[in-house]
Structure 1
Amino acid sequence: MFNQFLFKKIDNAQLVVFRLFYGLLVSAECYGAIATGWVRKTLIAPKFTFNFIGFEWLQPLPGAGMYIYFAIMGTLGLLIAFGYKYRFSAFTFAFMWAGVYLMQKTSYNNHYYLLMLLAFIMAFLPANRDFSLDAKQNPKVHSHSMYNWMRWIIILQLFIVYTYASIAKLYGDWLDYSIIEILMKSKNDYFLIGELLQQQWLHKIVAIFGILFDLLIVPALLWKPTRKVAFGFSIFFHLFNSIVFQIGIFPYLSLAFTVFFFTPQTIRNIFLKKKVVAIENTIDLPKNKNWLLGILAIYFVVQLILPLRHHTFKDDVLWTEEGHRMSWRMMLRSRTGIIHFKIKNKETGKGNHIKLDNYLTKKQKRKVACYPDFIWQFAQHLKKEYAEKGEDIQVFASSKVRVNGGKYHEFVDPTVDLANVPWKHFAHNEWIRPSQKE
């Protein structure tokens, strides 16, 4: 039964059309990052970047290198869309995007993580079998069918994302709408809708709708009687997010995912000139079936466990931030902080305060002020810089942080030498002060 479900041959129209949308959207994301100044502000202007810890060897290219890097990714997106040299284009883009994701986290976004996962998934799927230059140039590539699991791997990934996002919203500051009020304050100057976004009744609707949409959208799209209504809600929800929160291509990528929920013939009628394709309802078990099932099982077990890892850490993730990333905890908190760094020469005992303006951009300073891994990494940067001058130093930080508009509380133990303590990936870092329950 399980093999019959996963390895049944189905029409590949959904995957083929999604490939077109996916390629065009990632191309727009990469070229747009150059045009809007994102590349310059995030990867060129800073004197150094805050990588994911352990990936310090991933550094932005010098000079205009990152402009070229993103231009190449934008071009690869077009090659993916048109299905030309698809495997090469898709895998190259996936690795290049992963490089960008891991080399900087000052502009971290859960959607960037989702795109990294999706990029590798798409690279493995035969999305170039139809309506592509590859299939036109090489008839052996051409096919109207794919395995059923190729559709469901996308659906299951979406279900995990949306479900965890919904569950994460079931906490006090979301349920009393206070975090939504904070997030909307910065939108007060929006043309026409700025004043509307400050209304409490709208905050209540956003809070309730956000939970229910994330929880129900995938089941509602899967069930035929509610599919069209759910699609209508999807259009409204994602356009609202695009206008209000301005999060790039991702609302439109989310809408593109809906092709996997409509019947293949419906997709063909709309996008592929109403071409009728007859697919025999056959079961074709590949020779590497067990390997494939094992890899898929491991992947989804990781996807199910990773967002829960913060429960294994001491204290509240809203305060410590440990385990927040890669967990689909989206738009749940607002953090601000005040921080001062002091260095002390181990031999002479002489110390002085560090002026952050000499090292960091405005956005980096905001991150360093209230995120523990940024604080630790900056201490390591100072240690390395002074070591190159022949000085062995200690680094101490005095920091106060507030979460979701609450009171400021001491965030870092000011007596701990942050330059000489290891970063714990899978355990609580004890130099983070305990959260203060208000």
Structure 2
Amino acid sequence: MQDRLNRWLFKQVDNSALVAFRVIFGLLLACEAFGSIATGMVKRAFIEPKYTFTFIGFDFLEPLPDYWMYVLYCTMGVAGLLVMVGYKYRVAMTYYAITWTYVYLLQKSSYNNHCYLLMLLNYLMIFLPAHKSASIDARVNPGLRKEHMSRWIYIFIITFIWIIYSYASIAKFYPDWIDGSFPRYLMSIRGKEWSLLQETWAHEAIKYFGLLFDLLIVPLLLWKPTRWPAVIASIFFHLFNSIVFKIGIFPYMALSFLLFFFSVENVHKWFVWKKTFYAAGEIIVPKTRNWIIAGTTTFLLVMLLLPLRHWAIPGDVFWTEEGHRLSWRMMLRSRSGYATYTVVDKDSGERTRIRLSDYLSNKQKRAVQSKPDFMWQFAQKLKKEYAKNGQDVAVYVRAKVGINGRRPVPFTDPDIDLADTEWSHWNHHEWILPSPGYTREDD
């Protein structure tokens, strides 16, 4: 059994796909960093706001002062370019992974699953031998050069991709997607520049294509007779997302995963034809065999189990958001709402209604009026602000939230002091009112 497993996992295959992926990935990392400066994202997210909303538990993180955030992003861009050319690869990749984790955890106002995926890939790429061919490192140090890698790398990457797509599809099996109402609403707000996308047939096409693409794309790419149709579907799907939703580098990163589904001969011929092709097919079992199997298995199990945690938390995840993050629940819902924050001095009883624009950017204001973790965090921030003046205060939030364009309905218990509650990543919060049990007649 062990010999069979060794032959399956540690047979050596040509590494052209991983090498080509490194080049594209490094370029995308550089584009993400320099593009964040050019588009004003760094200024909007880190320099202009009075506060940043970190992931809960990482409140100690603060933006770098003055314009040092620009310097940070510039160095990240340089690190991306070093990854691309394969110079000081592991140092550059480690640096980008750490700095990306910092900016990812520092602010979640612009959170999406793509940022989470990029963080995971950064750390995975540190440990993969992507720099051992067609790189400056391999040219400077010929002893490093290898034209092959173990097959487990292919298996691991494809399995990881399959998990992501599968959960993205499974999450769409909910009423608003199945009846087409959310695709229709999504196009009305995100695709309003395109009259074609306001047609009923377009909404139906988006509904079925979005669900079936995520569900079937990996099996179709793995089966040779359906590979090219699946590639064409991938190009259409991701370019559509890039043009309509403007979601940065992610569509192109997703397209780069296609490298791992073609034969090694074709990838070598198409992308890195100057490197020597490896075809010996040796079985080389590394001394770290057990660590590799344990590490990759643990990682994939976490990826399988973490998105299921919302089933263990009472309430509808679409309403409560509890268990929504880190679960590959992509393009599923839109939240809107309005909220009033009232601060009450515990000693004098004086009540103050908070003017959100005194504290928050427009994007942050939308978040603290519709998303529960932002509501709780803002209550904590207000308590700390008033504590600076020696005041012990309670913070009450009266919020109404609407899902997917519906009429907003009460979301929070206005009699609970949010500043005096604890946050749990694994349990329901009683100050979130029960889901109204929406039906389409409520629209």
- TM-score, normalised via structure 2 length: 0.97
Aligned counterpart, 1:168: 171
Aligned counterpart, 2:90: 87
Aligned counterpart, 1:379: 379
Distance in 1, Cα, partners of 2:45 & 2:271: 37
CA deviation map 1:98-152 (0-9, x unaligned): 1111111100010000101111111110100000000000001101011111122
Deviation of 1:212 after TM superposition, in Å, equals: 0.8
CA deviation map 1:303-332 (0-9, x unaligned): 001111111111100000011011011111
Aligned counterpart, 2:54: 51
In structure 1, give the amino acid aligned to 2:262.
F
Distance 1:63 1:232, change over 3 A: same
Deviation of 1:406 after TM superposition, in Å, equals: 1.9
Distance in 2, Cα, partners of 1:273 & 1:296: 30
- TM-score, normalised via structure 1 length: 0.98
Distance in 2, Cα, partners of 1:163 & 1:90: 28
How many residues align? The count is 435
252-261 vs 403-412, which deviates more?
403-412
Deviation of 1:276 after TM superposition, in Å, equals: 5.2
Deviation of 1:257 after TM superposition, in Å, equals: 0.8
Question: Is residue 2:136 matched to residue 1:148?
Answer: no
Distance in 1, Cα, partners of 2:191 & 2:115: 27
Aligned counterpart, 1:125: 128
Aligned counterpart, 1:357: 357
In structure 1, give the amino acid aligned to 2:353.
H
CA deviation map 1:55-89 (0-9, x unaligned): 01111111101111111111100000000000100
In the TM superposition, 1:395-414 aligns within 5 A as 395-414=395-414
CA deviation map 1:233-254 (0-9, x unaligned): 1111111111111111111111
Is contact 1:43-1:60 (8 Å) kept?
yes
352-361 vs 263-272, which deviates more?
263-272
Distance in 2, Cα, partners of 1:188 & 1:139: 52
Is contact 1:144-1:279 (8 Å) kept?
no
Aligned counterpart, 2:38: 35
In the TM superposition, 1:326-337 aligns within 5 A as 326-337=326-337
136-145 vs 344-353, which deviates more?
344-353
Distance in 1, Cα, partners of 2:47 & 2:21: 33
Aligned counterpart, 2:441: none
Distance in 2, Cα, partners of 1:202 & 1:76: 41
Aligned counterpart, 1:139: 142
In structure 1, give the amino acid aligned to 2:268.
R
In the TM superposition, 1:305-316 aligns within 5 A as 305-316=305-316
Aligned counterpart, 1:345: 345
Aligned counterpart, 1:394: 394
Aligned counterpart, 2:272: 272
Deviation of 1:8 after TM superposition, in Å, equals: 1.1
Is contact 1:269-1:275 (8 Å) kept?
no
In structure 1, give the amino acid aligned to 2:346.
K
Aligned counterpart, 2:119: 116
Aligned counterpart, 2:199: 199
Is contact 2:13-2:278 (8 Å) kept?
no
4+ residue stretches of structure 1 with deviation over 3 A? Answer: none
Distance in 1, Cα, partners of 2:255 & 2:290: 33
Aligned counterpart, 1:227: 227
Distance in 1, Cα, partners of 2:103 & 2:5: 38
The one of 2, 7, 17 aligned to 2:5 = 2
369-378 vs 345-354, which deviates more?
345-354
Q: Partner of 2:262: helix, strand, or coil?
A: coil
Aligned counterpart, 1:421: 421
Q: Partner of 2:73: helix, strand, or coil?
A: helix
Distance in 2, Cα, partners of 1:278 & 1:288: 23
Q: Partner of 2:400: helix, strand, or coil?
A: strand
Q: Partner of 2:28: helix, strand, or coil?
A: helix
In structure 2, give the amino acid aligned to 1:330.
M
Q: Partner of 2:396: helix, strand, or coil?
A: strand
In structure 2, give the amino acid aligned to 1:128.
H
Question: Unaligned stretches of 5+ in structure 2?
Answer: 439-443
Is contact 1:25-1:253 (8 Å) kept?
yes
Is contact 1:386-1:392 (8 Å) kept?
yes
Is contact 2:221-2:231 (8 Å) kept?
yes
Q: RMSD of aligned C-alpha atoms?
A: 1.1
Deviation of 1:352 after TM superposition, in Å, equals: 1.0
Aligned counterpart, 1:184: 187
